Amino acid sequence: MEWMLFFISLTQGNVSNFLGNLGNVISKAKELSDALDRISKQKEYQSIVLDELERELIIQGNIAKDRSKSEEERLKAAKAYLVALQEQNRVKKASLQLDLEQQGMAFNKQLAVTGYGGADVDAPQVKLALEYVSDPKNKQTLKNLHEVETAFLPWVVVDGKSQSKSSARGMLDNQVRESLGYGGEMGTDFLELVYYISRMKEEGRGMGAEFVKMAGHMEDFDRLIEGSYKDYELMVEAIKETNTPMKDINTAQEGSVAYIKNSYQKLKDYGIPMLLCLGNGKCRMLR
């Protein structure tokens, strides 16, 4: 199906694009194939590492939540939990970056098949082009762009004015950039990118939305990472608030002077006031 697009290009007069992009498509197809092999191996390794890290998180998390353990043991487990969490977040982000790389290479190959001969594009560029192509008010500019790109002769009539194709491209490029409010940072091939994405839209094929969506997932993941560290902070806070020194329970005989002294000392250590009532009915607060 993809090779048929070249013959569509021929019928539209894009003979130079057909010949020029043939080698480009073959090159990008090989790059994508090699990348898929590499990414597949990396993802397999990442999956194994993530399984191990998940087990470590469960083990250390359970110890940190175990109130029968000492505060020292629980805090040590919480620290180990944090180390595993940081590594898990790093590996997950690396995995998402591989997904984005794969999506980007697949989209750039699709662009080359359509006829695009510019430099590889990234998600922000594709997002801008999608915004422009999807806006109804740009319909006439896109129509003029189509006429310029499919013209056989080196001159073309745009909006009733005869001019060279290069002049017409320059005029349309300015219109596109002015509409989006961007300058040279969009790259010199941006007009060509807009044209071929509009072609892909007309032909009912993918326009890069998945590529842009994947890039958005990367931004969402950064926010999720912040949330996961907040959970760790709450875990440590809970340990310090709930952990009681079980080994320091009063073992003196109940009712004895030693028992009363020990109990009073423990209450004093925790800052808890003790009410002492004498035989004459008078009571006073001990602190």
Those residues whose C-beta lies under 8 Å from the C-beta of residue 99, and which sit 6 or more positions away, are: 214, 217
25 and 120 share one domain: yes
228 and 260 share one domain: no
The pLDDT of residue 186: 67
15 and 116 share one domain: yes
Which residue range(s) make up the domain with 281?
249-286
The pLDDT of residue 248: 42
What is the per-residue pLDDT across 170-194, written as a single tens digit (0 to 9) for each? Answer: 888 888 888 888 765 666 688 888 8
The pLDDT of residue 247: 40
Identify whether the C-beta of residue 286 lies closer than 8 Å to the C-beta of residue 274: yes
What is the per-residue pLDDT across 19-69, written as a single tens digit (0 to 9) for each? Answer: 455 565 566 666 767 777 788 888 888 999 999 999 999 999 999 988 888
Least trusted range by pLDDT, from 6-10, 87-91, 137-141, 260-264? 6-10
56 and 39 share one domain: yes
Could you tell me which of 146, 161, 158 has the C-alpha nearest to residue 191?
Answer: 146
The whole-number average pLDDT for the span 242-257 is 49
The pLDDT of residue 119: 80
The pLDDT of residue 11: 41
The pLDDT of residue 277: 52
Report the number of distinct structural domains present in the chain.
2
Over pLDDT 70: what percentage of the chain? 70
Residue that wins the pLDDT comparison between 258 and 42: 42
Residue that wins the pLDDT comparison between 265 and 35: 35
Identify whether the C-beta of residue 131 lies closer than 8 Å to the C-beta of residue 180: yes
Long-range contacts of 166-170 (CB under 8 A, 24+ apart): 168/144
231 and 257 share one domain: no
201 and 266 share one domain: no
150 and 188 share one domain: yes
Residue 91 pLDDT level (bands cut at 50, 70, 90): very high
- pLDDT over 50 (residue 163): yes
Residue type, 107: F
The pLDDT of residue 49: 92
Residue 161 pLDDT level (bands cut at 50, 70, 90): confident
**Average per-residue pLDDT for the chain:** 76
208 and 264 share one domain: no
129 and 43 share one domain: yes
191 and 277 share one domain: no
- pLDDT over 50 (residue 5): no
Identify whether the C-beta of residue 139 lies closer than 8 Å to the C-beta of residue 210: no
Least trusted range by pLDDT, from 23-37, 91-105, 137-151? 23-37
129 and 266 share one domain: no
Identify whether the C-beta of residue 121 lies closer than 8 Å to the C-beta of residue 242: no
Q: Take residue 130 and report the two structure tokens written for it.
A: 């999608």
For residue 38, CA distances in Å to 68, 81, 87, 98, 272 come to 47, 31, 21, 10, 63
138 and 23 share one domain: yes
